[in-house]
Every structure is written in structure tokens, then in C-alpha cells.
Amino acid sequence: MPQPDTARLLITCEDRPGIVAAVAGVLADHGANIVSLDQHSTDAAGGRFFQRTVFHLPGFAEARPALERSIATVAERFGMEWSLHDTAVRKRVAIFVSKYDHCLMDLLWRTRRGELDIEVTMVVSNHGDLAADVRPFGVPFVHIPRENGDKALMEQRQLERVQGNVDLVVLARYMQILSDDFLSRVGAPVINIHHSFLPAFIGANPHARAKERGVKLIGATAHYATADLDEGPIIEQDVARVTHSHSTAELQSRGADVERLVLARAVQWHCEDRVIVHGRSTVIL
């Protein structure tokens, strides 16, 4: 997946005529060839503009500073937020887990296969149970228990490991609620995976309550974690079909299958710089 001399440019600003031309002009002036360009405006007039551009530029590393100066000039003119990503630089990811292994194993395994172009720099857990499962993958397993129930201390120790060292935190069925303080200090986006139902069953034992109601589909939602934990911008969702003959345990097992697929897709899209947050929503380009 990583291509030499290839980069991704994300921009967002208020929509107005001439944005695409200006950005494409800068890239052409620097000799870049646009490999793919996805653009979205929330309205034909007066909306918000989003663009993801993948381009190929021989000698990108050397050309980058000059290119960035040119982009900055255009960006100032249009009031753009922008970011530039070298596809050769893998995103460093910390995976947070508790006791459930299904999402963790799927991410490690897809990374080893080369399906996920990321670098898993550590697995952080409040329990030691999954250490042996992580070992064959050669990824450090960092056990930070919640000693004496002290969550603030646990989060402080997590932050010491994570701050400045990772580009993304993935909550792979991490069963502790992150504090607002943690989220404001972590310095990297946080992706969470959550079971989901139609309609929702909020609170404890949702699978048991879904079973009681006779649901026919169970699902999962991957989203960015925000202060309001399960209400952040949605990245991906999917469902699996169930019947009355599935026990609550089987609902959980089917749900686990969906969770790992949905989380893997969300992490992949984030790490391919496809996801732009727009208020409480996302644009996937």
C-alpha cells in the first residue's frame, strides 16, 4: 500500500469557486501528478468544502518544504485547514485493551499480513490476561493496572507512555471510560468500537436486552472518542443477522465478529487519511 514519493493532502474550508483549481495548480506547478482526488461540499452554495488529494511527486521528501510553503499561501487565501501526509511514514498506533481479545488480535494479524499499513508500537492494558497472545507479534505489552481503583493514576501512567509517541489510540474493547482530562491531553485521535443495535439498548447488558426484544440484527459502530464517550463522530458501522435461536452468548459472539471488522475498517480509513471530522459527523473520502 505505501507508494514511494506519494503523499496525501487533506483540506477543508468554506466553499467558494476556485478552490480545486488553486490547489491543483499548486500541485501541477511543483510537478506532482494527482493519483486520486475526492471532494465533497455540504451544499452547492455556501457549504463546507472537503478534499483529499493523493499525488505522486518524484523526490517528494526533498520537494516537501517548498511545496508546503506554496500550499500555505493558497491556504491562507481560502482560510483552509490542511495537513500533508507522506504515505511512506506509517502511523504509530497504541492499542488499548482489557480482557476481550477479538479486536486486538484482528488488528495485530492484519498488520502482520500487511493489510493494515500501520506500526503498532504498544498494546496497553489494565489487565495482564492478553500478554501471551500479544507476544508472538513482537509488540510491547504494557500492563498498567488500576491500582486501588485509582483511575487518575492509571491514566497518568498511560499518558506517560502514549503522549508524543503515537499518532493514534485505538480502544479495542477497552472497558474503562476515558476521562475528559485524558482525552484532552493524549495528543492523538482516539477511535472506539461499540456494539450497536436497531433500536439502541442503552446501559448495562444490552445483548440480554436485545435478546428479550427479539432483535434480528446486531451491529457495531466505530467512532472517534469524545468527552461524550459513545456520541463521537461515526467512522463505520455494520451489522450481522441473528435469530431467536441465538442465545445471549451467541449474540455476543456474532457481535464480536462485526466489531472486529468494523474497527479494522475504521482504523484503516483513518490511517489512510480518509476521514475528516466535520462537527459531530465525518466525511470519508
Interior angle at CA 126, CA 111 and CA 270, nearest 5: 35
User: Are 154 and 177 spatial neighbours (Cβ–Cβ below 8 Å)?
Assistant: no
The values of phi and psi at residue 114, to 5°, are 85, 5
Q: Which of residues 120-149 bind a second copy (CB under 8 A)?
A: 132-133, 135-136
- Please say which residue, 113 or 164, places its beta carbon nearer to a second copy: 113
Nearest distance from C-beta of residue 207 to a second copy, angstroms:
13
Among 18, 128, 140, 187, binds a second copy (CB under 8 A): 18
- Please say which residue, 61 or 152, places its beta carbon nearer to a second copy: 61
Task: Determine the size of the site formed for a second copy (CB under 8 A).
Answer: 76
> What single string gives the DSSP state of each residue in 55-97?
EE-TTHHHHHHHHHHHHHHHHHHHT-EEEEEETTSPEEEEEEE
Nearest distance from C-beta of residue 176 to a second copy, angstroms:
21
Interior angle at CA 193, CA 192 and CA 198, nearest 5: 130
- Please say which residue, 34 or 159, places its beta carbon nearer to a second copy: 34
Q: Which of residues 174-213 bind a second copy (CB under 8 A)?
A: 196-200, 202, 211-213
Among 80, 120, 183, 239, binds a second copy (CB under 8 A): 239
Chain centre to alpha carbon of residue 86: 17
* Residue 230 annotated among the catalytic residues of the structure: yes
Q: Which grid coordinates are listed for 27?
A: 500541485
Question: If we measure between CA atoms, which residue out of 99, 106, 92, 183 comes closest to residue 140?
Answer: 92
Among 98, 156, 248, 253, binds a second copy (CB under 8 A): 253
User: Are 216 and 195 spatial neighbours (Cβ–Cβ below 8 Å)?
Assistant: no
- Please say which residue, 121 or 282, places its beta carbon nearer to a second copy: 282
Of 5, 117, 230, 257, the catalytic one is 230
Task: Collapse the DSSP code of 191 into the 3-class scheme (helix H, G, I; strand E, B; otherwise coil) and give the result.
Answer: strand
Q: Which of residues 72-131 bind a second copy (CB under 8 A)?
A: 101-102, 105, 109, 113, 115
Stretch that binds a second copy, among 36-44, 118-126, 142-150, 180-188 (CB under 8 A): 36-44
Give me the active site residues, please: 230
